[in-house]
Amino acid sequence: MPELPEVEAALEFLRTRARGRAIARVRLLHPALQRRLSPAQLQALAGARIARVERRGKHQLLHLDDGRVLHAHFRMNGDWALTETNAPLPRFARAAIDLDDDTSLIFVDSRALGTIDLHPAGVALDLGLGPDAADPEWTASQLADELARRRGPVKPALLDQRLVAGLGNIYAAESLWRARISPFAPGNALARERVQSLREAIDAVLRRATGSRYTDDDTVTLDVYDREGLPCRRCRTPIERAVQAGRSTYFCPTCQPREIAAKHGTAKKTAKKTAKKTAKKTAKKTAKKTAKKTAKKGAKKTAKTIAKKPAKRAARSRRA
Ligand SMILES: [Zn+2]
């Protein structure tokens, strides 16, 4: 999936090839895109000039000189190609933006999941994005505050564009490996200094990514992503793969031990507290019910038995 560095590379392409040019015609070549833009909207694009291009997370905004915004998103594997307007279309061409110099920007997308939308002028675009992963002003402290609110594992949290915009499955995995954090560690279990390492790792990983197309180019050497069974570049332990929130997650079981969350205390304490609370609640409820039927002694026994169960469950989820 194109992530921040790849989208930034696409933006650079648009800056050099399309910025300042007027749109002669936009052709939508796939039904999924035709549903997003009406024929009237398409027609009204002719003559508009691409004044500037902007990246927000993984979104591409082509600001037109009249204030409208052509908004492209590659999703799983889109990309731009530049052809002469009359040249045969490349395979998987989903849209063509014909420019006034007889070249065409082709939206190429084999999965056809990418999107192109048009936003009217004068509307503030809210894409629901958190701070940009490449923004130097995005601090570890901000990241820590966000993660502190999340009980779920840190890896899916990093993919949430509201938490940080621009990271995807690959660079999230790479960043966690670099920071030696288990993808399974609960967000709120990470101590501040761990989050500081994570913030630095994200920065290093994004800087290192050249924006070349990792899928068909070896210039970006990944440390952990897609390296299942291969030796960890730090400790030689075979890299493992797991499915997490429906996505492949790669990690080194030695450098990124799952116990790391417990080691840092918070998770253990929280889990214990939660277990105790749940146990108390359950126990109280059951005790009340039982008390109605039986003597007080019986209620106490039941409460004790039930109190153990949630504690066990919490321990299990800590390991998972
Ligand atoms: Zn390792």
Q: Residues 35-85: pLDDT tens digits?
A: 999 999 999 999 999 999 999 999 999 999 999 999 999 998 899 999 999
Catalytic residue among 247, 268, 280, 313: 247
Q: Is the dihedral of CA 288, 290, 295, 299 positive or negative?
A: negative
pLDDT score recorded for residue 1: 79
Q: How confident is the model at residue 221 (pLDDT cuts 50, 70, 90)?
A: confident
Give 234 Cα–ligand 1 centroid separation in angstroms.
Answer: 5
Interval 173-200: pLDDT, tens? 999 999 999 999 999 999 999 999 999 9
Give 256 Cα–ligand 1 centroid separation in angstroms.
Answer: 7
Catalytic residue among 2, 153, 156, 186: 2
Name beta bridge partners: 99.
Answer: 23
pLDDT score recorded for residue 283: 53
* pTM score: 0.77
Catalytic residue flag (residue 58)? yes
Give 169 Cα–ligand 1 centroid separation in angstroms.
Answer: 19
Please give the mean pLDDT across all residues of the chain.
84
Higher pLDDT, 277 or 80: 80
Give 133 Cα–ligand 1 centroid separation in angstroms.
Answer: 25
CA distance 152 to 183: 10
pLDDT at residue 220 above 90? no
Interval 108-133: pLDDT, tens? 999 999 999 999 999 999 999 999 99
Catalytic residue among 27, 58, 155, 180: 58
Catalytic residue flag (residue 2)? yes
Q: In sequence order, which ranges of 149-265 are alpha helices (DSSP H)?
A: 154-159, 169-179, 192-208, 260-263
Give 232 Cα–ligand 1 centroid separation in angstroms.
Answer: 5
